[in-house]
Amino acid sequence: MSSKWVSRIGSSRPDRPLLLVFPHAGSGPSAYQRWRTVVPLEVEVLAVRFPGRETRIREPLVPDVETLVKETADGLAEILQGRRFAFLGHSVGSLVAYELALLLRRQGLPGPVCLGVSGYPAPQVRIPDPLHEVPDEKLLSFLLERQYVPRSLLSQRGFLQMFLPILRADFSLAGTYRLRAERPLECPVHAFAGASDVFADPEELRGWAALTEAEFSLDLFPGDHFYLFDRGDDILRKVTKPLL
């Protein structure tokens, strides 16, 4: 498997079911490499790499969900063909994973056997703040206040010049998104959250239950928006169980 769209987390297991991970705002697959020691042996885990980040840094960023999901569906088509798979999104990655599941269904293609959503309110519950429109200074203040980035990075001008446009594009995915009328998914939806996450009240994640006709669950863990990096084994075990 060689594709600019994904990076493998853990060992290569192309003959086994697949879990696709959709990263949080401003990030890419490299953030999830810390999970490589807890990937279940029975599955292969690939993290999605969107345009404009990591090895795709020279490609244009995509700031709207509809365009990004269409491009992602095309980019992942060969990878998904003939395999059983599940989706797991964190933060705005949850929104992209959900919309991709809907698009596959509209195209008459097999969809995920399970959707995991983490740290993101159900899209019908709350319209996110338009953070992609605020000035840099206000955006950085917001991120520091909520511990999204360490203060030490503020002095790294090169990092900020690269990071802020990516983050704005990802915040635009949320800020410009509007939920369309769709029938609920047929697959289970499992939601996860950090109990002290300031970006997503765990109660707001309960709204995901309305977006599936199948099983729904919500698991809360100690921690903030980035709780999941310490609970990879628990999360991966739950979202991959329907694959086995």
Catalytic residue among 27, 91, 118, 172: 91
Strand pairing report for 115-118 and 85-90? parallel
3-class secondary-structure state, position 117: strand
CA angle 218, 223, 228 (to 5 degrees): 65
Query: Which long-range contacts does 107-111 make (Cβ < 8 Å, 24+ apart)?
Result: 107/73, 109/80, 110/80, 111/185, 111/186, 111/187
Q: Which amino acid is at 12?
A: S
Active site residue 12: no
Active site residue 225: yes
Q: How many CB atoms lie within 10 A of CB 239?
A: 28
Catalytic residue among 24, 132, 190, 225: 225
Strands (DSSP E) contained in 80-188 are 85-90, 115-118
Are the C-beta atoms of residues 62 and 51 closer than 8 Å to each other? Answer: yes
Q: What is the DSSP string of 47-67?
A: EE--TTSGGGTTSPP--SHHH
3-class secondary-structure state, position 138: helix
Q: How many CB atoms lie within 10 A of CB 80?
A: 18
Catalytic residues: 91, 225
